[in-house]
């Protein structure tokens, strides 16, 4: 035992000495070997400096050789890495920051073979690593890069046949939160794809795991990305109605639901955006508490717990509305979150927010003014990403025809005013359609053409779930009165088992969402890899 102890001490001491004096050299050679094998071409590094205490790596001159072409494929003058050492023991390895300074790309192409360049084999190699049939192991590490800065970029295009050597200097590039795979691909990427493709994502309110899982099941079935959202009372119900501290229940229930999505969404094979619905003035503390949880989640994983929150201050004066939106967005934007705002009033009531008194085609509050949209854009767009629930006569719930008059042209007018005033690209506003249940399909299509990327649906899915459960109960009424049939002794356990009748509700909800995905044109358009 004593000899073993002495041997351990000696071995540890030698290892420490080797690491202290030769650690950088060893890591440098390992780095070169890994990159060379991964890229299938020679990689050379001039200097490699590791600071173990500050968790920083500084590299001087990275050279990647060409294959079958002269010169170098890529030369990086200086590279800086800021690591998160503790994350190496977690599922997601976090790199806090990467700076590449002096990036020189040499592009060679063969004019006689248009498909051949010095990047062709490299591209094929990466495509081979992402083959459709390849499954990832649950234990595989994932890399999350919080910040990537690329500076002083120079590209050289070369062709010996044409005697061409054209050099171009590119603008510096900055990226945030790269590598976030799984449950929620960057929200802005999803909405940009939706607007470009002329479709929208359903935003479905849920109250528990049954409705939540049904939404993910429907999204997977339709190969569409989806937005799952929670109202304050939906979050409270998720936590349990018996909890005496209602505010705490609203917060913790919503957090628990978000964690449920993070755990399971990747297994469904689609991107899921996690959002919270209407929060009026009284519910601002609820949103702030949830942002706090996202900030903590961002520190650990590089991404927020929630994708976005909605702040509905449409019942307040516009000055207060926009100033609070500005304040919250300044806090949310640095961690990659989006804020949904509302200008004008979406009629009806949604979990305690709003009133049925708003209903009526002659109510001017139901129609957002384009000038207010412009004001919001000028104030919020420099701060971070926001989406806008502009009212065009839409209401929560389903109402008698004639009580509501949808006027999507308001959305078109708002887009054109912002575009012409601020000299932006087409459809600069990211618009949201509230009160999608029961809406005329032609009006839905028209709204999409004006830049709507998200449509809320709640009432219709609630009814679909409940209708199926009610029908099952009616058809099996004895099973809900007796455990054993009093007449013939038949046991009813398999019929009153909650897993059976709750599943009926889930299936019906999935079927209703099939229609929603189709109406919004998102079927088959998931961006999940």
Task: Looking at the structure, tell me whether residues 392 and 286 fall in a common domain.
Answer: yes
- Average pLDDT in the 124-150 region? 57
Task: Looking at the structure, tell me whether residues 167 and 202 fall in a common domain.
Answer: no
Domain end call among 178, 196, 230:
178
123 located within any domain:
no
Task: Looking at the structure, tell me whether residues 450 and 312 fall in a common domain.
Answer: yes
Question: What pLDDT digit, counting tens, does each position of 369-395 carry?
Answer: 899 999 999 999 999 999 999 887 755
pLDDT at 395: 59
Output 478 or 81, whichever has higher pLDDT. Answer: 478
pLDDT at 4 over 60: no
User: What CA–CA distance (Å, rounded) separates 409 from 387?
Assistant: 18
User: What CA–CA distance (Å, rounded) separates 370 from 373?
Assistant: 5
Task: Looking at the structure, tell me whether residues 402 and 506 fall in a common domain.
Answer: yes
Q: Which residues are catalytic?
A: 277
Number of domains in the chain: 2
Question: What pLDDT digit, counting tens, does each position of 150-173 carry?
Answer: 999 998 887 766 677 788 888 888
Task: Looking at the structure, tell me whether residues 149 and 224 fall in a common domain.
Answer: no
Task: Using a pLDDT cut of 70, give the percent of the chain over it.
Answer: 77
Task: Looking at the structure, tell me whether residues 167 and 304 fall in a common domain.
Answer: no
Contacts of 99 (CB under 8 A, 6+ apart): 78, 79, 80, 149, 151
Output 91 or 513, whichever has higher pLDDT. Answer: 513
- Average pLDDT in the 258-278 region? 93
Average pLDDT taken over every residue of the chain: 82
144 located within any domain:
yes
Task: Looking at the structure, tell me whether residues 432 and 449 fall in a common domain.
Answer: yes
9 located within any domain:
no
Question: What pLDDT digit, counting tens, does each position of 468-516 carry?
Answer: 999 999 999 999 999 999 999 999 999 999 999 999 999 999 999 999 9
- Looking at residue 434, what DSSP letter applies? -
Task: Looking at the structure, tell me whether residues 39 and 101 fall in a common domain.
Answer: yes
Task: Looking at the structure, tell me whether residues 158 and 194 fall in a common domain.
Answer: no
Q: How far lies 110's CA from each of 42, 66, 75, 120, 422, in Å?
A: 21, 14, 21, 11, 44
Residue span of the structural domain in which 422 resides: 187-520
Contact (CB, 8 A) for 140 and 129: no
Task: Looking at the structure, tell me whether residues 257 and 305 fall in a common domain.
Answer: yes
- Average pLDDT in the 228-240 region? 96
Q: CATH number for the domain including 220?
A: 3.20.20.70
Task: Looking at the structure, tell me whether residues 164 and 211 fall in a common domain.
Answer: no
17 located within any domain:
no
Q: Where are the beta strands (DSSP E) in 32-137?
A: 43-51, 56-65, 72-83, 92-108
In this structure, what token pair is assigned to residue 98?
Answer: 């990467």
Question: What pLDDT digit, counting tens, does each position of 195-226 carry?
Answer: 999 999 999 999 999 999 999 999 999 999 99
3-state helix, strand, coil in the chain (%, to 5): 45, 25, 30
């Amino acid at each position: 035992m004593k000899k073993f102890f002495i041997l351990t001490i000696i071995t540890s001491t030698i290892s420490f000495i080797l690491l202290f004096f030769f650690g950088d050299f060893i890591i440098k050679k390992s780095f070169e070997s890994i990159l060379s094998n991964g890229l299938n071409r020679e990689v050379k590094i001039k200097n490699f400096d590791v600071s173990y205490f500050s968790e920083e790596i500084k590299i001087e001159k990275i050279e990647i050789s060409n294959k079958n072409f002269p010169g170098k494929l890529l030369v990086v003058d200086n590279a800086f890495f800021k690591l998160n050492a503790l994350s190496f023991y977690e599922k997601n390895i976090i790199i806090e920051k990467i700076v590449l300074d002096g990036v020189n790309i040499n592009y060679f192409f063969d004019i006689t073979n248009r498909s051949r360049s010095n990047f062709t084999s490299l591209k094929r190699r990466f495509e081979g690593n992402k083959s459709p049939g390849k499954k990832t192991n649950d234990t595989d590490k994932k890399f999350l890069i919080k910040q990537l800065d690329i500076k002083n970029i120079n590209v050289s295009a070369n062709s010996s046949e044409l005697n061409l050597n054209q050099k171009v200097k590119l603008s510096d590039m900055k990226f945030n939160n790269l590598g976030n795979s799984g449950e929620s691909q960057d929200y802005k990427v999803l909405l940009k794809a939706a607007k470009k493709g002329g479709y929208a994502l359903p935003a479905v309110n849920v109250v528990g795991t049954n409705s939540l899982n049904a939404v993910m099941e429907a999204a997977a079935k339709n190969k569409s990305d989806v937005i799952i959202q929670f109202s304050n009372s939906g979050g409270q119900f998720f936590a349990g109605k018996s909890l005496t501290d209602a505010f705490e229940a609203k917060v913790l229930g919503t957090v628990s639901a978000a964690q449920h999505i993070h755990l399971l969404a990747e297994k469904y094979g689609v991107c899921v955006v996690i959002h919270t619905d209407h929060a009026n003035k009284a519910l601002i503390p609820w949103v702030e508490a949830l942002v706090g949880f996202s900030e903590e989640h961002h520190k650990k994983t590089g991404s927020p717990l929630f994708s976005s929150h909605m702040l509905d201050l449409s019942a307040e004066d516009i000055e207060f509305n926009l100033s609070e939106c500005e304040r919250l967005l300044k806090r949310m934007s640095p961690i990659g979150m989006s804020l949904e705002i509302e200008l004008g009033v979406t009629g009806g009531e949604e979990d305690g927010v709003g009133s049925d008194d708003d209903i009526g085609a002659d109510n001017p509050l139901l129609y957002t003014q384009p000038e207010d949209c412009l004001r919001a854009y000028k104030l919020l767009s420099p701060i971070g990403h926001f989406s806008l629930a502009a009212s065009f006569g839409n209401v929560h719930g389903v109402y008698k025809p004639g009580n509501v008059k949808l006027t999507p042209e308001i959305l078109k007018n708002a887009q054109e005013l912002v575009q012409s005033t601020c000299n932006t690209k087409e459809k600069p506003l990211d618009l949201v359609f509230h009160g999608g249940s029961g809406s005329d399909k032609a009006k839905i299509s028209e709204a999409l053409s004006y830049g709507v990327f998200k449509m809320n649906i709640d009432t219709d899915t609630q009814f679909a779930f409940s209708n199926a459960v009610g029908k099952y109960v009616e058809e099996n009424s004895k099973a809900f009165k007796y455990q054993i049939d009093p007449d013939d002794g038949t046991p009813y356990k398999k019929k009153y088992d909650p897993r059976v009748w709750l599943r009926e509700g889930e299936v019906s909800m999935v079927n209703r969402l099939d229609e929603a995905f189709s109406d919004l044109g998102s079927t088959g358009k998931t961006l999940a890899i």
